[in-house]
């Protein structure tokens, strides 16, 4: 292992919209290192490119150690779908399965579906085109209709069952963020911090974050085309409003 590589200690196997934004902040506080999240993919084009290539290659050939060289933990999509591969690469890492009520998860998940569809309409912007391909091939390739409640809830439950079957009980924590610090700290073997457990990404937060990222992308891609930039900004405000 290169001297600069950080050893992965915790693999997040829970789907997005299970409190993963709160978990990212909590884990970074507890572990003192970085936690991988979809935000890294949106913020770093090199990470987006890696995932797009991974999807184009039939979800084969990812250099996981290179991808996560600076991270001690992962949560959220896209990494959560590949917990088995990560367990093989990091056999000493523990696994965190974040969960919530399946019906409430579906309702929250629809915010991501709306954002994905907005980005799909803007796929003529290169980054949005790449993001759309990543969603289709890496994040939700097994979900035919992400607006179908029955299909998505069944997939959510099946994923939870699969993780429980795949991970030895002594290495797995099934966790609802409403439980707060105690079970998480006990699992990691660290003291409970004297601060409130973070509760991020409440209703509307994900849309605001996506809008900011999208507008930055538009500014970088079309900054010299003032009129085009303004038109795109207005379209984004409508799609992500």
* For residue 40, pLDDT beyond 80: yes
End-to-end CA distance of the chain: 45
Q: How confident is the model at residue 126 (pLDDT cuts 50, 70, 90)?
A: confident
Per the domain annotation, does 43 fall within a domain? yes
HSE at residue 62, side-chain half, CA atoms within 13 A, is 26
Find out whether 138 and 59 touch, Cβ atoms under 8 Å: yes
Residues 146-161, mean pLDDT to the nearest whole number: 98
In a domain, 53, yes or no: yes
- Mean pLDDT computed over 168-196: 98
Instruction: Give the domain range for residue 162.
Output: 10-114+142-202
- 66: tokens are 């290179």
CB 36 within 8 A of CB 50: no
State both tokens at 84: 């088995």
**What per-residue confidence (pLDDT) applies to 5?**
64
Q: 220 in a domain, yes or no?
A: no
Q: Kindly indicate the confidence band of residue 119, based on its pLDDT and cuts at 50, 70 and 90.
A: confident
Contact 228, 218 (CB under 8 A): no
Neighbours of 193 (CB within 10 A): 12
Alpha carbon of 32 to those of 9, 29, 74, 125, 161: distances in Å?
12, 6, 13, 36, 31
Residue 197 has pLDDT above 50, yes or no: yes
Q: Return the structure tokens found at 134.
A: 């990543």
Q: Which residue's entry shows tokens 């060289």?
A: 69
- For residue 160, being part of any structural domain is answered with yes
Q: Which helix (H) or strand (E) holds 16?
A: none
> Cα(128)–Cα(80) distance, rounded to whole angstroms?
21
Residue 233 has pLDDT above 80, yes or no: no
Give residue 121's pLDDT. Answer: 87
Confidence grade of residue 236 (pLDDT, cut at 50, 70, 90): low
- pLDDT beyond 90 at 229: no
What's the whole-number mean pLDDT along residues 24-42? 96
Lowest mean pLDDT among 14-23, 119-128, 185-194: 119-128
**Is position 132 within any domain?**
no
Residue 97 lies in a domain: yes
Q: Is 71 a member of any domain?
A: yes
Domain presence at residue 232: no
Q: Does 210 have pLDDT greater than 80?
A: no
The total of structural domains in the chain comes to: 1
Q: Tell me, what CATH number does 47's domain have? A: 3.40.50.300
Q: Range with the lowest mean pLDDT among 37-46, 80-89, 226-235?
A: 226-235
């Amino acid at each position: 292992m290169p001297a600069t590589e950080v050893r992965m200690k915790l693999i997040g196997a829970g789907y997005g919209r299970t409190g993963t934004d709160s978990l990212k902040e909590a884990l970074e506080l507890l572990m003192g290192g970085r936690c991988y999240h979809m935000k890294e993919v949106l913020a770093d084009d090199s990470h987006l490119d890696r995932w797009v290539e991974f999807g184009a290659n039939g979800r084969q050939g990812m250099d996981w150690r290179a991808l996560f060289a600076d991270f001690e933990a992962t949560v959220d999509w896209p990494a959560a779908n590949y917990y088995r591969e990560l367990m093989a690469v990091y056999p000493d890492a523990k696994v965190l399965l974040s969960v919530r009520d399946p019906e409430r998860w579906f309702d929250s998940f629809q915010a991501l579906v709306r954002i994905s569809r907005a980005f799909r309409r803007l796929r003529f912007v290169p980054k949005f085109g790449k993001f759309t391909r990543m969603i289709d091939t890496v994040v939700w390739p097994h979900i035919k209709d992400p607006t179908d409640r029955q299909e998505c809830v069944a997939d959510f439950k099946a994923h939870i069952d699969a993780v429980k079957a795949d991970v030895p009980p002594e290495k797995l924590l099934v966790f609802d963020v409403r439980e707060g610090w105690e079970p998480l700290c006990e699992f990691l073997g660290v003291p409970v911090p004297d601060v409130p457990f973070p509760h991020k990404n409440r209703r509307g937060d994900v849309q605001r974050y996506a809008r900011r990222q999208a507008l930055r992308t538009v500014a970088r891609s079309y900054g010299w085309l003032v009129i085009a930039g303004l038109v795109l900004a207005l379209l984004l405000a409508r799609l992500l409003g």
